[in-house]
Every structure is written in structure tokens, then in C-alpha cells.
Amino acid sequence: MASGFFAVLDDVATLLDDVATMGKIATKKTAGILGDDLAVNAEKASGFVSKRELPVIWAITKGSLVNKLIILPVTFLLSAFAPVAITVILLLGGFYLAYEGAEKIYEFFFPHSHKPELEEVKDLDKEDILELEKTKIKSAILTDFILSIEIVIIALGTVIEEPLLNQILVVTFIALLATVGVYGLVALIVRMDEFGASLIRLNGESNTISDKIGRFFVIALPVVIKSLTVIGTIALLLVSGGIFVHNLSFLHHLFPSVPGIIVEFGVGLVAGILVLLVVKGVKKILGRK
């Protein structure tokens, strides 16, 4: 009886060791898109009034966890019974991400003056602020859903030859890492100014080391947020372009002498512009009607 118990423990230890090893490999494979995920979601989660930042991030985090609960079982089932469907879903998600990136560029050059920015919420009443929050939270959760599909598929590809139990454990670990790790960092980024203000208030003396560090964090936050806006847009186009290039062979070999990152960005930008033109055209036609 005792020998059987220890044999089970040994099997469990071996399984966990294998999962840890495969998890490291899968993490390396998904590191790039996890970085893109951080940039995109940090930009999405920023721009709220200070006291609403953490509740908004928590709402997006819960939405991200729900996304994973939907994506993981569906992905395993499709991988087993309809692998072609995964490619189709990825391509559709790629078009959505490309559209979001292209729309951000369009909004930069042709801003909509009638659309209030979240930075101007001081002039809005409580209901308008909550409505803006809901809109941005929904957008962030939808973008997270698309990025989560890509993360899960890439992680699954690294362990596709392994037993089903190993696949489930490794991919689930990466999926949870994508939520807990990414949104934990997002929370730290958007609270930089509050942390800096706390350091400044740490003592009654002026121009101390804590004051200097605090002022640095307060001044750095707007720069970081603006930078993340740019990085997030580039990330959307890179991720979408990567989806097309890695799943459509003719694109993969279209420009063999050009660095892959440039090809992926270009493909994502072109796809985004095409979808943006279609959306604008449809809106214009419906508007006329």
C-alpha cells in the first residue's frame, strides 16, 4: 500500500516536472505576444479618473478570466475535432486587431471632436463617466479575447505532441499567466502617479530622495501612457500581421529578404486599412439610408 502511494507521488512529481519544463518553452514562445498584450491592455486601461482606475482594471481582469474559461475548452475541442476552425478563428481575430490598429491611426490624423476623451471626464456627470467606462471596458475585454486566442493557440502549438493532460496543464498555466501577470503590471503602471505622490508625502522635508523619486514617477506617468498608446497601436498591427503571415503561406514567403517584423507590421497595416475602408463605407451607406 505504501509503495503504491509513493509510486503515485513519483508519477505526480514527474508530471509536474514535465509541465514546468514545457511551461518554460511555451512561455518563451508566447513572450512576444504577452508583451504586446501588456502594451495594448495598459493603453486600454488608462485614462480614467484616479479613484476609478483599480475598479476598472479589476473589471477587465474578471472579463479576461471569463475569456479564458471560454477559450480553453473550446480550443482543446477544436484542436481535437476541427483543427481548420482554429485557423479561421485566428484570421478573423487578426482582421479585428488590424482594424483597431488602423482606426487608432485614423483617429490620430482625423480626430472626432464630438467624441469626449476620458481625460476630460471632469466636465461630465456621473452617468456619462460610467457610460464611458463601460464602453472602454467592453473594448478592452473584446481585444483581450482576441489576444487570448492567439496566446492559447501558440502555447498549444508548443505541446501539441504531448499527452492531453500535459497540454491542458501547460496551456492553462500560460493562459492564467497572461491574465494575472499582464493585468498586475497594468495596475502598477496606471498607479505610478499615486505611488509617486505617496513618496512625496512621506515626510515633511523638501527635496529629499523620496521627493525626487516621487516627482519622477508623477512626471513619468503621462509619458508612459502616451508611449503605451503608440506601442499598443504598433502591437495591434504586429499581432494581426503575425497571424496572417504565420497562417497564410503565400504571405510568409512574399518578401523573403525583408525582416519579418516589418512584413508583419505592413501586412497588419494593409489589412487594417482595408477593413477600416469597408466599415466606413458600410456606415456611410447605412447613414444615407
> How open is the CA angle 200-221-67, to the nearest 5 degrees?
125
CB distance 253 to 228 below 8 Å: no
138-157: pLDDT as tens digits: 888 888 888 788 788 777 76
Closest to 244 measured CA to CA, from 230, 229, 233, 255: 255
The DSSP 8-state label assigned to residue 256 in this structure reads T
Between 135 and 26, where is the model more confident? 135
Neighbouring C-beta atoms of residue 168, cutoff 10 Å: 17
Please tell me the distance from the alpha carbon of residue 85 to that of residue 155, in angstroms, as a whole number: 17
Most confident of 63-77, 183-197, 210-224: 63-77
pTM: 0.67
Looking at residue 38, its pLDDT comes to 66
Closest to 272 measured CA to CA, from 223, 231, 235, 219: 235
What average pLDDT does this structure show over 191-217?
A: 79
Closest to 25 measured CA to CA, from 173, 185, 179: 173
Cα end-to-end distance, the chain, whole Å: 78
Average pLDDT, the chain: 76
Looking at residue 5, its pLDDT comes to 39
Please tell me the distance from the alpha carbon of residue 51 to that of residue 46, in angstroms, as a whole number: 12
Judge whether residue 244 has pLDDT over 70.
yes
Range in 30-39, 169-178, 257-266 the model is least confident about: 30-39
| pLDDT band per the 50, 70, 90 thresholds, residue 270 | very high
Please tell me the distance from the alpha carbon of residue 157 to that of residue 83, in angstroms, as a whole number: 12
CB distance 275 to 99 below 8 Å: yes
Please tell me the distance from the alpha carbon of residue 229 to that of residue 243, in angstroms, as a whole number: 21
Please tell me the distance from the alpha carbon of residue 103 to that of residue 281, in angstroms, as a whole number: 14
54-112: pLDDT as tens digits: 788 888 889 989 999 999 898 888 877 887 887 788 788 889 888 988 998 998 888 76
CB distance 214 to 199 below 8 Å: yes
Neighbouring C-beta atoms of residue 198, cutoff 10 Å: 13
What average pLDDT does this structure show over 204-212?
A: 77
Neighbouring C-beta atoms of residue 93, cutoff 10 Å: 21
Surface-to-core class of residue 141, CB atoms within 10 Å of its CB (0-12 exposed, 13-18 middle, 19+ buried): buried
Judge whether residue 248 has pLDDT over 50.
yes
Which triple of cell numbers denotes residue 227?
A: 508611449
| pLDDT band per the 50, 70, 90 thresholds, residue 274 | very high
14-43: pLDDT as tens digits: 444 444 555 454 455 444 455 556 666 666
Percent of the chain with pLDDT over 70: 75
Please tell me the distance from the alpha carbon of residue 44 to that of residue 137, in angstroms, as a whole number: 8
Please tell me the distance from the alpha carbon of residue 97 to that of residue 268, in angstroms, as a whole number: 8
What average pLDDT does this structure show over 192-201?
A: 80
